[in-house]
Amino acid sequence: MLVQEIMTREVVTIDSNDTIFDAFIKYRDEKVGCLIVTDKERCAGIVTERDLIEKAACLCKDPKKTKIKEIMSSDIKTIHPLKKLEQALEIMKKYKIKKLPVVSNDAIVGIVTSTDIVYARPELTKRFMESWVKIRWED
């Protein structure tokens, strides 16, 4: 199965020069798990709800003045839509991420998440979870 078969094509983006406040509004209106940050139409980073909580709220940044590029994760991992789903899962596992932007010719064409994989290929998810999460029992 290829990434393009299960990816979400409607990706919500935000410009790197928009503010944290703009991100709050997009989260409220779009109800998504992350925003892909763009700079001149290219994928520049990602902002998750955790970024907003930890980097914006905890650092007492002014949400109406602070630019998204100041809090985004810029070391972003991506995948091509024609790659196999197993390759996406390996990237997610290696970097401990749950959201993977799908890029073709430097343009965002979709996003694949761990939730997408759960629904599409539950047998992959079980193997992934077993290797990533170790359950410990205590008496």
Taking residues 35-57, report their average pLDDT.
87
Label residue 33 by pLDDT band (50, 70, 90).
confident
pLDDT for res 101: 96
Residue 132, pLDDT > 60, answer no
With contact defined as beta carbons under 8 Å apart, do 93 and 130 qualify?
no
CATH assignment of 3-132, given 2.40.40.20, 3.20.20.70, 3.30.420.10, 3.10.580.10?
3.10.580.10
Domain range annotation of the chain: 3-132
